[in-house]
Amino acid sequence: MSQKDRPLSPHLQVYRPQLTSMLSILHRLTGVALAVGTLLLVYWLAAAAAGPESFESAQGLIGSFFGQLFLFGWTYALFYHLCNGIRHLYWDAGFGFELPEVYKTGWAVVAVSGVLTIASWVLGYAMAGGA
Amino acid sequence: MSLRSPLGRVRGLGSAKSGTEHWWAQRLTALALIPLCLWFVASIAAMVGADYATMRAWVDSPLVAGLLILLILATFYHAYLGVQVVIEDYVHYEPLKIAALLCVAGLSILLGVIAVLSVLLLLFGG
């Protein structure tokens, strides 16, 4: 059996992890996470519609330690999927397929999604402190 | 003799079944969600720790309620299209695949209706 040199199709188990594939997987992962995370949005809106008591308890739940932890992950997933989604739309329009640019936009997505997540939480804590 | 036109007969029969509608709808909703999500996160971040009255006052405007409803519709449509592709990629047992697709479609509609009704109640309710 001397078939070792045959080309392999891309597969998770034989491919070395690299930025491009990791970001692609993360895009799908955050998409599914956000789909599940819509439950939080629906819960929050329905609690507000149900009246002051249920809204306060929803606010308390979301404001708890685990609530905030969950919401932080939710915020990052949203900004990551948003930024990488713009990268996908850029590709769909026919731009940015050269490998150096693929890496450049990939790192830009990592940086911008991180900055936007931190910025919105800084704004949130500033408002909570000032209120 | 068939009364259907040749175009009518072949429409939807290609290997892609429904053509580019799915792809296009996913892109359009994505485009709409960019400004809607940025607006929503900024609004929420600015309201952290707000009480019930502040929240009511915020939604009590046709502009905010309208944007919220657009956000909800685009979100659940986009989420459904995305999860549908994930299921089609990974679930290969046909009965399970169809059941999962129906569940996700039903859940998306149900959650979307609950969210839209909540916004309408906040806008028009006492």
Q: In this predicted complex, what is the ipTM?
A: 0.87
**Looking at the predicted structure, is the pLDDT value of residue A1 above 70?**
no
CB-neighbour burial class of residue B33 (10 A; exposed 0-12, middle 13-18, buried 19+): buried
| Residue among A35, A89, A124 whose CB faces B83 most closely | A35
Q: Dump pLDDT digits (tens) for A33-80.
A: 999 999 999 999 999 999 999 999 999 999 999 999 999 999 999 999
DSSP, res B67? H
* Closest by CA position to A103, among listed A87, A126, A82, A118: A87
Give the pLDDT score at A22: 93
What's the CA gap between A74 and A68, in Å, rounded?
9
Q: Do A82 and B34 touch (CB under 8 A)?
A: yes
Give the pLDDT score at B76: 98
Whether the CB of A120 is below 8 Å from some CB of chain B: the reply is yes
Q: Do A127 and B49 touch (CB under 8 A)?
A: yes
The full DSSP string for A2-40 is --TTSPPPP-TTTSPP-HHHHHHHHHHHHHHHHHHHHHH
What's the CA gap between B21 and A115, in Å, rounded?
34
Give the pLDDT score at B69: 98
This prediction has a pTM of 0.88
**Higher-scoring residue by pLDDT: A79, B47:** A79
Mean pLDDT of chain B: 92
- Percent of chain A whose pLDDT exceeds 70: 93
Least confident of A67-76, A119-128, B77-86: A119-128
Give the pLDDT score at B11: 76
